[in-house]
Amino acid sequence: MNPTRLFIVLLLSLVATACNQDNSDIFHDQFFAFGTLIDLTLYDVDPATARQASEQVEQDFQDMHGSWHAWQAGDLTRLNEQLASQETVTADPSILPLIREANRLSQLSNGLFNPVIGELVALWGFHDNPLPIGTLPDKDTLKKLVAQLPSAADITIEGNRISTRNPAARYDLGAFAKGYAIDRAIDRLRELGIRNAIINAGGDLRAIGRHGDRPWRIGIRHPRQPGILASVEIEGDTSLFTSGDYERFFEVDGTRYHHIIDPRTGYPADGTTSVTIIYDNAATADAAATALFVAGPDEWLTVARRMGIRQVMLVDADSVIHMNPAMQSRIQFEPGINAEVRLSEPLP
Ligand code: ADP
Ligand code: MG
């Protein structure tokens, strides 16, 4: 960075810090974790408590990120190594509840959210190991992995002991850990007496309380254009999560290969460009956004029912927007958006 830019950045960060300290109504902080910028907003909290809370939350996020990482050495990679050697292992307490919940949601999703397809995700190069440009994974390896297809049902948990009968089972919690971490962070804020807050991880978020006398207004990214597709107002305790094929992808011969894999085929799920879920807790919203993305325009309603999800918007590969009535009643499209909307039956 050249000296002038460095000066401007320093100046801006000083101004930002000063704003945090002087304005007792609203407090903002940002840091990197889980591969994304985490944005913390606290409302109506005294500055000392806000600073203490944000330091604590950032520390928690760094700890969780390290412990639950799918390929950098930590508690989860250690568990994966042990499962690969078919041992029965004592799970670290920092990952056991997370794994239990991932397995439960996976079974509810009919295995479309599958937290043990780490080998497949790695084969597609999404563990920071990109394939050589212009190439796809080796077909035989892919076929073999799909045939062995590990599922959450292959994992046995007794007390704190975990084992698997499937040697191909490898945890990758990329579709779920961010949501789970946001829930833990909200618990932490509540412990500190904070009632109005929002934790936003690159557009996936959970809010509690209100923004003064008005609700929080949240934009949902357009899957194919820069900017916003729609917005919603949220208040109380609500999470909003979107899974999209634009987050991580590469192209070969004009075809997009993205990071949400259909465990039934071993290939990136087709038919969907994005799915947005509104639900109370973030962990379920995160897992469901991934599961319904894989389910696609024909099966999303069935999987939503099984998972107890009540508000869904799915944009399909032809840009048709599928929603249930409860979602439609709270979504406001941006001016100029003229998509075909297909309304489903109500979700209970
Ligand atoms: P993002 O992390 O971009 O918000 P997701 O929550 O949908 O998107 O998570 C995608 C990540 O989850 C992938 O990068 C991969 O690590 C993992 N993953 C991919 N396909 C599946 C699947 N069918 N079930 C569970 N996890 C998956
Ligand atoms: Mg997800």
Q: Looking at ligand 1, which residue's alpha carbon is closest to its atom 15?
A: 174
Give the largest CA-CA distance in the chain: 61
**24 pLDDT tier (thresholds 50, 70, 90):** low
Domains present along the chain, CATH in parentheses? 3-65+176-343 (3.10.520.10), 74-164 (1.10.3980.10)
Looking at per-residue pLDDT, the higher value among 311 and 5 belongs to 311
Residue 20, pLDDT above cutoff 90: no
How far apart CA 196 and CA 14 sit, in angstroms, is 25
Beta-bridge mates of residue 275: 243, 314
Residue 111, pLDDT above cutoff 70: yes
Centre of ligand 2 to C-alpha 5, Å, is: 36
As for ligand 1, residues whose beta carbon falls within 6 Å of it are 112-115, 117, 121, 126, 172, 174-175, 204, 243, 247, 259-261, 263, 286, 289-290, 294
Q: Would you state the pLDDT for residue 25?
A: 86
Tokens linked to 51 = 């600073």
DSSP collapsed to 3 states, 194-240 = CCCEEEEECCEEEEECCECCECEEEEEECCCCCCEEEEEEECCCEEE
The answer to whether 292 and 275 have CB atoms below 8 angstroms apart is: yes
- Among 242, 290, 293, 307, say which to mutate for ligand 1: greatest number of ligand atoms within 8 Å of CB: 290
Centre of ligand 1 to C-alpha 254, Å, is: 22
Among candidates 308, 252, 9, which has minimal Cα distance to 125?
252
Centre of ligand 2 to C-alpha 322, Å, is: 18
Looking at per-residue pLDDT, the higher value among 237 and 211 belongs to 237
Angle of the 47-67 helix axis to the 3-22 helix axis, nearest 10 = 120
Q: Tens digits of per-residue pLDDT, 25-57?
A: 899 999 999 999 999 999 999 999 999 999 999
Q: Which of 209-213, 264-268, 273-277 has the lowest mean pLDDT?
A: 209-213
How far apart CA 106 and CA 151 sit, in angstroms, is 8
Q: Tens digits of per-residue pLDDT, 152-208?
A: 999 999 999 999 999 999 999 999 999 999 999 999 999 999 999 999 999 999 999
- List CB contacts of 301: < 8 A, sequence separation 6 or more: 324, 344, 345, 347
Task: Locate the ligand 1 atom nearest the alpha carbon of residue 241 and give its number.
Answer: 4
> Which pTM value belongs to this model?
0.93
How far apart CA 156 and CA 234 sit, in angstroms, is 38
